[in-house]
């Protein structure tokens, strides 16, 4: 907690610069010797006055003009930038004016204004005119991605006013950006002020000013270099102090994740070599405390084709990345190793890069995006492989935008096959393919008879192509079909209906995603909605919560709370878990003290001890964060909980804990509308609805 030290430092620097004249040994106009002599600590200036005294007194004018001008631009820009994240017309205005203002030379504007106005007013006018739109652009760019973060949506759903959402939720999170931008604006204002003063438009002689000192003493720089160097260094030091001080202050406001220390990975147990490539006991954390894989084992034999299936978000793509000897940015391998013909390949090393370039072919997910739009197809893959895959003969001269989706997929497959790699990795090779291309890709894969790993969610296709199929579930691989089933929850008596949807449809960007949703949710009921990714499940949930326009009739009798799926975005990184959980209670009218006590009880209900009340999300694991988000959603005692895959990113234990809390609450009358991919969760439901081809229907239990 050195924040106060930084603030004190910045204030001290400002105070010293502003009050420097008090410490001056001589009067600033007093002649103490001949011009540019060595009299005094820093010598004398053009008129024989003491440089040190003038240096001490010469920063106040600069600071008094530049800092308010810079802060004014930053403040106005921050307000406009935050407003722009909320209101579309402000957003258009900010983006348009800021793009134009960037091309306007600031000094020209200030000098033009300086013809009619005093220097300080010209700098202020120039900064407000040109700096405000730029600050607004920066703040808007930082805040916009958070507009749909879980903690912002939760605040909207619990009925916070827009101003409260912007000031309490968004502003603290972008605080670092705001302060660092304020530093830039202040420095720009210093730059302009110094220029205007150096041109003789600011303080008139004999008033001391750093910029004027540099200018008037340059002719005598050979006689007394300090008469120029001292004020130049003072300006440079002031600039750096303001900039770095505000920037550092910004980094202190938003607490960053504190990585925990881990013991070095123990050497893997020696086992006989069994395959071409092998993952042995690999444990990966997607970020400190959030496990992605726990003790992963996978062996691919010579010529074997292995299929990997699993729900979305289970880490199938990350698994392929491990087989490439790499981990995605931010994640780290805690233990385990990758073996190639029994030889270890170190994750993320240069050796791993050379190895995969020589021996591994990759067909990534969404292959069209991995083609550089500026490079012709002929530069990507050799002509003979392209022809073998049935692509037209002129395809080599085309740019990627002139390819259809299926052609792009085949081009990328050609790139992967070009060197006939010993190991081929395919990520969802059949998604979005027409029947002909699908057959072609299938033939290429089976005709190769070399080691291949295929990630897919199409189990039937995987069974037809692969020698064996495994399932990735909660960070471990299990043979497909052996998934444990959780016990069904105790039967609860259902009460009165609390939520009714009649012929509801939702659309995004003019395209209808789901239509014909008819359902009724009663007290105590757990209703699960399943369906493929992109089917509009989350959008439907947001529409019910009032976050998205809805077509049809939604009738809610009682209060609604929302729980999202991303444990990183669910909680505001700035607020402690205790204050996050207490906020809905405060909004409901509880006093600070009562809300605080109740928040500790709620945290205990989801299995978090009282010590968590003071921790910030960055100090907690993903599972702990998701529990706290659940406690916050339950804090206002809602009648309906809208849960958007709250367990998908969690390990099995935490997922069970979350579901158990929900079961207890359901016994007390809470109705839960649960959107998920996870069939395990669906198995606990009272009723399951399914989205198939844009229509929602109740699943008949078999």
Partner 1 sequence: MAAALTVGRAALTLFLVCLLVFLITTALPGDAAVIAAGQHATPERIAELRAALGLDQPVWTRFAGWLSGAVRGDLGVSLVDGRPVAPLLWSRFTATLFIAVPVWVLALGVGTPVAMLLGWRADRASSALLAAIAGLPEVVLAGGLVVVFATWLGWLPAVSLVPAGGTAADRPEVLVLPVLALALPATAWIARLLRGPVSDVVGRPFVTDALLRGVPVPTVAVRHVLPHLVPPLAQAGAVLAGGVLTATTVVEAVFAYPGMGQLLATAVGTRDSPVLQGLAALVAVVVLIAVLAADAVAAVPAGRAGAR
**Residues that bind partner 1 in the complex, under the rule CB under 8 A:** 102-108, 111-116, 180, 183-184, 187-188, 190-191, 194-195, 198-201, 211, 214-215, 218, 221-222, 225, 228-229, 231-233, 235-236, 239-240, 243-244, 247, 251, 321, 324, 326, 353-358, 360, 362, 364, 366, 369-375, 399-402
Q: How many helices (H) and strands (E) does the chain have?
A: 25, 19
Distance of CA 295 to the CA centre of its chain: 28
Nearest approach in angstroms of CB 475 to partner 1 is 22
Nearest to 629 by CA among 651, 603, 604: 603
**Which residue, 116 or 700, is less far from partner 1 as judged by CB?**
116
3-state helix, strand, coil split of the chain in percent (to 5) is: 50, 20, 35
Burial of 127 (0-12, 13-18, 19+ CB in 10 A): buried
| Measured distance CA(1)–CA(4) in Å, rounded | 7
| CB within 8 Å of 35: residues ≥ 6 apart | 44, 45, 46, 47, 48, 220, 223
Nearest approach in angstroms of CB 194 to partner 1 is 4
SS3 state of residue 395: helix
**Which residue, 103 or 263, is less far from partner 1 as judged by CB?**
103
Nearest approach in angstroms of CB 600 to partner 1 is 36
Residue 537 pairs in a beta bridge with none
**Which residue, 35 or 183, is less far from partner 1 as judged by CB?**
183
Nearest approach in angstroms of CB 370 to partner 1 is 4
**Which residue, 258 or 436, is less far from partner 1 as judged by CB?**
258
Residue with tokens 């043979």: 479
**Could you tell me the two tokens for 207?**
């008033």
**Which residue, 361 or 578, is less far from partner 1 as judged by CB?**
361
Nearest approach in angstroms of CB 556 to partner 1 is 40
Nearest approach in angstroms of CB 354 to partner 1 is 7
**Which residue, 88 or 105, is less far from partner 1 as judged by CB?**
105
Nearest approach in angstroms of CB 214 to partner 1 is 4
**Could you tell me the two tokens for 286?**
């997607």
Nearest approach in angstroms of CB 422 to partner 1 is 14
**Which residue, 279 or 581, is less far from partner 1 as judged by CB?**
279
**Could you tell me the two tokens for 503?**
């012929």
**Could you tell me the two tokens for 87?**
């209101």
Nearest approach in angstroms of CB 132 to partner 1 is 17
Cα-Cα end-to-end distance for the chain: 60
Nearest approach in angstroms of CB 62 to partner 1 is 10
**Which residue, 3 or 274, is less far from partner 1 as judged by CB?**
3
| Measured distance CA(282)–CA(320) in Å, rounded | 13
Burial of 260 (0-12, 13-18, 19+ CB in 10 A): exposed
Q: What angle do CA 93, 97, 102 make, to 5 degrees?
A: 150
User: Of how many residues is the chain composed?
Assistant: 702
**Could you tell me the two tokens for 81?**
């930038």
**Which residue, 353 or 508, is less far from partner 1 as judged by CB?**
353
**Which residue, 213 or 561, is less far from partner 1 as judged by CB?**
213
**Could you tell me the two tokens for 250?**
């910004």
Distance of CA 397 to the CA centre of its chain: 38
Q: What are phi and psi of 309, to 5 degrees?
A: -120, 170
Element (H, E) at 504: strand 497-508
SS3 state of residue 436: helix
SS3 state of residue 295: strand
**Which residue, 322 or 599, is less far from partner 1 as judged by CB?**
322
Nearest approach in angstroms of CB 371 to partner 1 is 6
**Could you tell me the two tokens for 386?**
């392209």
């Amino acid at each position: 907690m050195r924040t106060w030290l930084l603030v004190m430092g910045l204030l001290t620097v400002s105070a010293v610069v502003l009050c420097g004249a008090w410490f001056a040994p001589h009067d600033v106009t007093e002649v103490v010797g001949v011009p540019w002599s060595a009299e005094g600590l820093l010598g004398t200036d053009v008129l024989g006055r003491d440089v040190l005294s003038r240096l001490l007194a010469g920063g106040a004018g600069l600071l008094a003009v530049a800092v308010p001008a810079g802060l004014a631009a930053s403040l106005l820009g921050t307000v406009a930038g935050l407003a722009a994240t909320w209101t579309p017309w402000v957003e258009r205005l900010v983006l348009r004016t800021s793009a134009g203002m960037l091309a306007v030379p600031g000094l020209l504007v200030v000098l033009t204004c300086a013809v009619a106005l005093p220097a300080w007013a010209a700098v202020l006018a120039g900064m407000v005119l040109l700096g405000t739109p730029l600050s607004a652009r920066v703040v808007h760019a930082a805040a916009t991605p958070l507009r749909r973060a879980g903690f912002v949506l939760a605040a909207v759903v619990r009925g916070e006013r827009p101003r409260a959402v912007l000031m309490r939720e968004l502003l603290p999170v972008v605080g670092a950006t705001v302060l660092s931008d304020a530093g830039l604006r202040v420095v720009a204002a210093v730059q302009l002020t110094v220029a205007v003063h150096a041109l003789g438009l600011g303080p008139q002689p004999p008033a001391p000013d750093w910029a004027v000192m540099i200018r008037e003493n340059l002719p005598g720089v050979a006689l007394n270099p300090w008469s120029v160097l001292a004020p130049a260094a003072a300006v440079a030091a002031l600039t750096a102090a303001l900039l770095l001080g505000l920037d550092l202050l910004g980094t202190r406001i938003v607490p960053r994740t504190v990585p925990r220390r881990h013991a070095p990975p123990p050497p893997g147990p020696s086992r006989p070599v069994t395959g071409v490539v092998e993952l042995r006991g690999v444990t990966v954390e997607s970020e400190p405390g959030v496990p992605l894989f726990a003790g992963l084992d996978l062996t691919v034999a010579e010529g074997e084709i292995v299929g990997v299936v699993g729900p979305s978000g289970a880490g199938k793509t990350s698994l392929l990345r491990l087989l490439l000897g790499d981990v995605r940015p931010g994640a780290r391998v805690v233990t385990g190793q990758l073996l190639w013909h029994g030889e270890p390949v170190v994750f993320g090393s240069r050796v791993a890069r050379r190895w995969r370039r020589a021996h591994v072919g990759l067909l990534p997910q969404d292959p069209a995006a991995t083609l550089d739009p500026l490079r012709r197809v002929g530069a990507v893959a050799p002509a003979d492989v392209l022809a073998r895959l049935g692509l037209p003969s002129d395809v080599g001269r085309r740019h990627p935008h002139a390819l259809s989706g299926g052609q792009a997929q085949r081009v990328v497959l050609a790139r992967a096959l070009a060197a006939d790699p010993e190991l081929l990795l395919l990520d969802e090779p059949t998604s979005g393919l027409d029947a002909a291309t699908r057959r072609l890709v299938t033939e290429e894969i089976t005709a190769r008879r070399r080691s291949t790993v295929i990630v897919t969610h199409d189990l039937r296709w995987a069974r037809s192509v692969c020698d064996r199929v495994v399932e990735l579930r909660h960070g471990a691989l299990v043979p497909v079909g052996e998934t444990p089933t959780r016990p069904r929850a105790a039967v609860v008596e259902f009460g009165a209906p609390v939520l009714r949807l009649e012929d509801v449809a939702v659309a995004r960007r003019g395209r209808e995603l789901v239509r014909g949703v008819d359902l009724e949710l009663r007290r105590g009921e757990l209703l699960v909605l399943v369906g493929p990714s992109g089917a509009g499940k989350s959008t439907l949930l947001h529409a019910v919560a009032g976050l998205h326009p809805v077509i049809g009739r939604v009738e809610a009798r009682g209060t609604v709370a929302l729980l999202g799926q991303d444990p990183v975005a669910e909680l505001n990184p700035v607020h402690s878990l205790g204050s996050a959980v207490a906020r809905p209670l405060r909004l409901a009218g509880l006093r600070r003290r009562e809300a605080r006590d109740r928040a500790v009880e709620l945290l205990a209900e989801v299995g978090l001890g009282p010590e968590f009340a003071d921790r910030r999300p960055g100090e907690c694991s993903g599972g702990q964060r998701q529990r706290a988000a659940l406690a916050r959603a339950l804090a206002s005692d809602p009648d309906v909980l809208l849960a958007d895959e709250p367990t998908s990113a969690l390990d099995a234990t935490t997922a069970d804990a979350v579901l158990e809390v929900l079961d207890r609450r359901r016994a007390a009358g809470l109705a839960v509308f649960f959107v998920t991919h996870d069939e395990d969760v669906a198995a606990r439901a009272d009723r399951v609805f399914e989205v198939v081809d844009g229509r929602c229907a109740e699943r008949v239990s078999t």
